[in-house]
Amino acid sequence: MTERIIPVADLRYLHAVPHIPDILTPATGLLSDTLSRPLRDLRISVTDRCNFRCVYCMPKEVFDTSYQFLPHSSLLSFEEITRIAKIFIAHGVEKIRLTGGEPLLRKNIEKLIEMLAVLTTVDGKPLDLTMTTNASLLGKKAQSLKDAGLKRVTVSLDSLDDATFKRMNDVDFPVTDVLDGIAVASQVGLGPIKVNMVVKGGMNDQEIVPMARHFKGSDVILRFIEYMDVGASNGWKMDEVIPSAEVVRRISESMPLEVVDANYTGETAERWRYADGSGEIGVISSVTQAFCSDCNRARLSTEGKLFTCLFATGGHDLRALLRNGHSDAEITSAVSHLWAKRDDRYSELRTINTEGLSRSDRKVEMSYIGG
């Protein structure tokens, strides 16, 4: 028998092959974890590669030419992703977000979108199928993404000032190309478009007000994200986090804001609207106001590991189940079993006690697990 060679990149994080329960139970669409949280949102990382080197995500010093990205054979195929998606939808997932790395770098991504777009939720509703992208290829691809069935996009943009943006993406990528991508996406109907701005104190916080002013009154919803201690390579420090309350205060000085009720339970962004009726913004306070109590998200890494928390140190190897010939019924039961045991609430614990950061050297990278 020939020995199977496991690429080193596959061994980067702890993982275990999920247990298949002796008695198989069908999906009911009503999973509940130890904190009574359902499973509604699945984020799928389609590649661990990216053409940007954002300082808070894939710093150049770590993700350099010697960094070992996953080999193609390790990636889930589109058929495998779709099979897992169907199992998760049967468990109650209503929203699927494609992410990465940079999802538009995955070859023929439109094909995957076509395969997912025809799936419906347990209630027979269309899936909320979306993507988070750095928009570097969005101008070129927006029409084909829309044609394939993608509903909308979220674009990451950290500054309108070219020098600041280039310092943050660290590959000299210009702001205008991202803005052009947003415009094309809007024209082809990939809206409502959300723009995510990660605020890193001392780097781009002077851009909070200009970004708000730029998108105020447009059909783009701007959301400010607190810089998180995700991964183990960005050298995160608490004093570089600008709390959302401070973001709201700075914008309100010139453009008064009032709070809006959440759209649904588990919504990550707190919504604020301009008092003059010209639209709204969102703030995502992952550090200063943890929202673990409503967290209904699961993440599937590029090579098929399931993570039940963004800050997990290990995943559950669903790819092993797929490739070892297990049936859908077996994998369905294994996922129920995993979710029933889920007790993750990293951000809440971090808020209670910053000592919780001690596992920071082992956390998975955002580019691998997907944002």
Q: How far is the CB of 328 from ligand SF4 (least distance, A)?
A: 26
Strands (E), 147-231: 152-156, 194-199, 221-226
CA atoms within 13 A on the CB side of 192: 12
> How many whole angstroms separate alpha carbon 329 and alpha carbon 344?
25
Q: CB–CB of 371/132 below 8 Å?
A: yes
* Residue 193 in contact with ligand SAM, rule: CB under 6 A: no
The Cα diameter of the chain in Å comes to: 72
* Residue 38 in contact with ligand SAM, rule: CB under 6 A: no
CA nearest neighbour of 352 among 289, 310, 283: 289
* Residue 69 in contact with ligand SF4, rule: CB under 6 A: no
> How many whole angstroms separate alpha carbon 301 and alpha carbon 76?
9
The sign of the CA dihedral 303, 309, 314, 319 is: negative
User: Residues 345, 363, 364, 368: which binds ligand SF4 (CB under 6 A)?
Assistant: 345
DSSP label at residue 41:
E
User: Residues 18, 38, 100, 282: which binds ligand SF4 (CB under 6 A)?
Assistant: 100
Question: For residue 140, which amino acid is it?
Answer: K
User: Residues 27, 109, 112, 198: which binds ligand SAM (CB under 6 A)?
Assistant: 198
Q: Hey, what are 351's tokens? A: 């808020």
Q: How far is the CB of 14 from ligand SAM (least distance, A)?
A: 20
Select the binding partner of residue 318 from ligand SAM, ligand SF4, none (C-beta < 5 to 8 A, by kind): none
Q: How far is the CB of 241 from ligand SF4 (least distance, A)?
A: 15
> How many whole angstroms separate alpha carbon 347 and alpha carbon 277?
33
> 13 or 311, CB closer to ligand SF4?
311
* Residue 102 in contact with ligand SAM, rule: CB under 6 A: yes
* Residue 234 in contact with ligand SF4, rule: CB under 6 A: no
User: Residues 31, 39, 44, 57: which binds ligand SF4 (CB under 6 A)?
Assistant: 57
Find the length of the chain.
Answer: 371
Residues from 227 through 256 that contact ligand SAM (CB under 6 A)? 227-228, 230, 234
Distances (CA, A) of 91 to 17, 27, 173, 262, 273: 20, 5, 40, 24, 34
* Residue 311 in contact with ligand SF4, rule: CB under 6 A: yes
* Residue 100 in contact with ligand SAM, rule: CB under 6 A: yes
What's the burial of 49, exposed, middle or buried (CB within 10 Å: 0-12/13-18/19+)?
Answer: middle
Q: How far is the CB of 297 from ligand SAM (least distance, A)?
A: 13
> How many whole angstroms separate alpha carbon 252 and alpha carbon 236?
28
* Residue 134 in contact with ligand SAM, rule: CB under 6 A: yes
Q: How far is the CB of 343 from ligand SF4 (least distance, A)?
A: 9
* Residue 315 in contact with ligand SAM, rule: CB under 6 A: no
> How many whole angstroms separate alpha carbon 268 and alpha carbon 260?
13
User: Residues 44, 283, 292, 322: which binds ligand SF4 (CB under 6 A)?
Assistant: 292
* Residue 56 in contact with ligand SAM, rule: CB under 6 A: yes
The footprint of ligand SF4 (CB under 6 A) covers 50, 52-54, 57-58, 100-102, 134, 156, 290-292, 295, 297, 309-311, 344-347, 367
The footprint of ligand SAM (CB under 6 A) covers 50, 56-57, 99-100, 102, 132-134, 156, 196, 198, 225, 227-228, 230, 234, 366-367, 371
